[in-house]
Amino acid sequence: MDNTNFNLFINLFENFNINNLFMLLLKLSLIIGSLFYIALAVVTVRQITIMKKTLITETNPVITIIGFVHLAAACILLAYFLLIL
């Protein structure tokens, strides 16, 4: 470990407090939660695709769009947690 890296390592411990740890845990929880939610949104889109084959109506394209909007919103939320928090 060179001198610069060693200083960074020391700074991390010097700046450590319980508040930072809480924020870090909260951010991690939100990121993991939104990853799971994206998986759920993908399953919803997949279910819509399957179910619209079971029942064919003129409303189906609108429902498909809503499913994709939901998935896009889940992705935007993950991006917010990763980039803004």
> Which residues lie near another protein (CB under 8 A)?
19, 23, 26, 30, 33-34, 37, 40-41, 43-44, 47-48, 50-51, 53-60, 63, 66-67, 70, 73-74, 77, 80-81, 84-85
DSSP letter for each residue of 12-44: HHHS--HHHHHHHHHHHHHHHHHHHHHHHHHHH
Closer to another protein by CB, 9 or 36: give it.
Answer: 36
Closer to another protein by CB, 12 or 76: give it.
Answer: 76
Rounded-to-integer distance, Cα 49 and Cα 28, Å: 32
